[in-house]
Amino acid sequence: MYADTADWFREDYARTTPDGADHFDVVFDKVMTLWRNPLELPLAELARISAPTLVMQGDDDGVRTEYSTALARALPTRSSLSSPAPATARHCRSRTRQPDDP
C-alpha cells in the first residue's frame, strides 16, 4: 500500500543513515504504524511541559495548521514556525544537497 512512498525515501535514507540501508524497512514500518495509530494526547496535557518547545508547521504538511496552532497555544513555553513549503520536503532537499551545491 505504501510502496511508492517507501521507494521515494529509500535511496535518500540509504545515503544518509548511520544504521545501514537494510535498516530502512524497520524505520519505515515504525513510521507507518505511528501514522496509522497516532498518539492521542489531550492538548491540556501539554501544559505540563516546562521545557522550551518549538512547534514547526509547513503550510502543505499533512497536519492541519489549526491543530498546530492549538498545540502551540497549549504549551506554556513555546516558539512556533510556519513554513511556506512542507517542512519534511525541505528537510529532504537540504539533507541531499552536496557540499558544492549553491
* Angstrom distances, CA of residue 11 to CA of 23, 72, 96: 12, 34, 10
Q: Which three cell numbers stand for residue 22?
A: 537494510
Q: What is the pLDDT of residue 13?
A: 87
Q: Residue 25: which residues within 8 A CB-CB, separation 6 or more?
A: 6
Query: Could you report the per-residue pLDDT of 20-29, keeping only the tens digit for each?
Result: 889 999 999 9
Query: Could you report the per-residue pLDDT of 37-55, keeping only the tens digit for each?
Result: 877 888 889 888 888 888 8
The more confidently predicted of residues 34 and 101 is: 34
Q: Cell 506554556 maps to which residue?
A: 76
